[in-house]
Amino acid sequence: MDTDTLYSISFANPDAPAKPRKFLSARFRYINELPRSNPAWQNALLSFFSEGSISFRDQTFAVSPGVNFCDRNPDDIGQDGVVRALLDRVDHEIIIPDHSYRPRVSMPEKSEAPLSSDEMEQIWQQVGEIRIGESAWDFAHMVNQYFSSCLRPRSIANRLFELPCEECAHRNEVCNKLRSTPGQRALNSMISLARAFAWLRGGGEVSIQDIEQALPYTYAHRLDFHHEVFREWPNPQVYLREHVVGGHLEAKKERWLSAIAAKQANEPQRVLQIARETDDLVVAWLYTHCSKRQFSTEEVVA
C-alpha cells in the first residue's frame, strides 16, 4: 500500500528509480481506516509523520508541510489496530459520536467558503506566534511528568514488569492506571494545541486553562491504560477530562503553581518544602530541575 500511495515503481523496469506521488506534496491529506492498514504502510507513516521524509530502497523523498487527517473506528473488531509508535505521532484525536438519525436539513442559499490553503497557513503562523510564559511552560511539563512520576525507574521498565502499585502510597494516582509512560511528543502536541486554543479565544499567551483543555485530545490516544479505565469510563478522553483534569490536577494546581513561583523566584528550598509537605512526586521532580545538585525523586520526598 505504501508503494501505491507514496511512490510508484515501474513493473516493466523494477530497477528504475521510484517516483514520488502527489500525496507527498499535498497540503491536506486524508488517510481512511488507519487501523486496517498493513504493517508496511504503518511503518512508512512513522517517518512520514515525524521526519518530514520517507525512504524507499536508496531513495529519500521529502514530505511537504501539511495537515494529515486519519480516521478509525475503535470498535471495529476486524481491524488489526495501530502500533503505539504511530499513535504517538498523531498530534490530536477528536472523538466523533455516532448520529444514526440524520434529519433532513436545507442548505442555506449562501454558505461560507472554506478556508484556502494560504489562509490556513496564515492561521498556523499566527498560532505558532502565540507566546507561552514560564509558568504555563513549567505547568505543561509538570502535567507530562505527572503521567510518568514513580518511585521506580518506570520509563525503562518493560511492559510485563509488575510494579508494587498496591503497596505504594501513591496508588490512587493516575500512574496506577497506566501500563507505560508518555514521551516528549505528547508534551509537544499539548503545547501546540494549547496555543491553538489561546488563538481561538483571542489571547496572545497560553494560559493554564488552555493546557488543561488540550490535555485529553493529546494524551488519551497515546496512553496505554489498564482495562478498568475502559470499563468504568466511556472513553479515555472523558476519563482524562473529568477524573484527571477535573479531579487530580485541580486538587494539585494550587501547590503546583506555588512550586512554580518558588522556582522562578530562585527558591529551591521552598520547592523542596512543598514537595515534602505534600508528598508530591511531580513537585519533587520540579525540585530536581531547579537545584544545583542531582537528586532522585525518592530522595527528595523521603
Show me where the domains of the chain are located: 2-87, 126-301
What is the full DSSP assignment across the chain?
-HHHHTEE--SSSTTSPPEE-GGGT-SEEEE--GGGS-HHHHHHHHHHHHTSEEEETTEEEE--S-EEEE---TT-TT-----HHHHTT----------------PPPSS-PPPPPHHHHHHHHHHHHT-B--HHHHHHHHHHHHHTT--SS-GGGS-TT----GGGSTTTTSGGGGBSS---HHHHHHHHHHHHHHHHHTT-SB--HHHHHHHHHHHHTTTS-B-HHHHHHSSSHHHIIIIIIIIIIIHHHHHHHHHHHHHHHTT-HHHHHHHHHHHT-HHHHHHHHTTSSS---HHHHH-
Which CATH homologous superfamily contains domain 2-87?
A: P-loop containing nucleotide triphosphate hydrolases (3.40.50.300)
**What is the pTM (predicted TM-score) of this model?**
0.84
Give domain 126-301's CATH superfamily: Magnesium chelatase subunit I, C-Terminal domain (1.10.8.80)
126-301 and 2-87 share a CATH fold: no
pLDDT 10s digits, 31-77:
888 888 888 888 888 888 888 888 877 888 888 888 889 988 876 65
Q: What is the pLDDT of residues 5-17, one digit of tens each?
A: 788 877 788 778 8
pLDDT of residue 151: 62
Taking only the tens place, the pLDDT of each residue in 240-284 is 999 999 999 999 999 999 999 999 999 999 999 999 999 999 999
> How confident is the model over 210-225, as pLDDT tens digits?
999 999 999 999 998 8
Q: Is the pLDDT of residue 237 over 80?
A: yes
Average pLDDT over residues 290-296: 61
Q: Is the pLDDT of residue 189 over 90?
A: yes
So what's the pLDDT on residue 249? 95
